Amino acid sequence: MIAIEASVLSADFLRLGEQAREAEAAGVDGIQVDVMDGRFVPNITFGQGIVRALRGAVHGVLDVHLMIVEPELCLKEFAEAGADRIFVHQEACKHPHRVLQSIREFGVEAGITINPGTPLSVLEELFDVTDIIQVMTVKPGYGGQAFIQSQLDKMRRLKEMLEQGGFEIPIAVDGGIDTNTAPLAVSAGATVLIAGSSIYNDRAPVDQNVAALRESVEI
Nearer to ligand DX5, 123 or 174 (CB): 174
Q: CB count, 10 Å around CB of 23?
A: 28
Q: Which of 23, 174, 186, 217 binds ligand DX5 (CB under 6 A)?
A: 174
Q: Point out which span in 46-54, 104-112, 155-163, 175-183 binds ligand DX5 (CB under 6 A).
A: 175-183
Q: Which helix (H) or strand (E) holds 34?
A: strand 30-36
- Show contacts with ligand DX5 in window 50-109 (CB under 6 A): 65
Q: Point out which span in 95-103, 119-127, 140-148, 206-214 binds ligand DX5 (CB under 6 A).
A: 140-148
Amino acid identity at 47? G
Closest by Cα among 170, 217, 211, 203 to 189: 170
Q: Which of 60, 144, 170, 183 binds ligand DX5 (CB under 6 A)?
A: 144
Distance CA 20, CA 96 (A): 30
Q: Which of 9, 54, 92, 93 binds ligand DX5 (CB under 6 A)?
A: 9
Q: Point out which span in 50-58, 124-132, 139-147, 164-172 binds ligand DX5 (CB under 6 A).
A: 139-147
CA dihedral defined by 53, 197, 25, 189, rounded to 10 degrees? -100
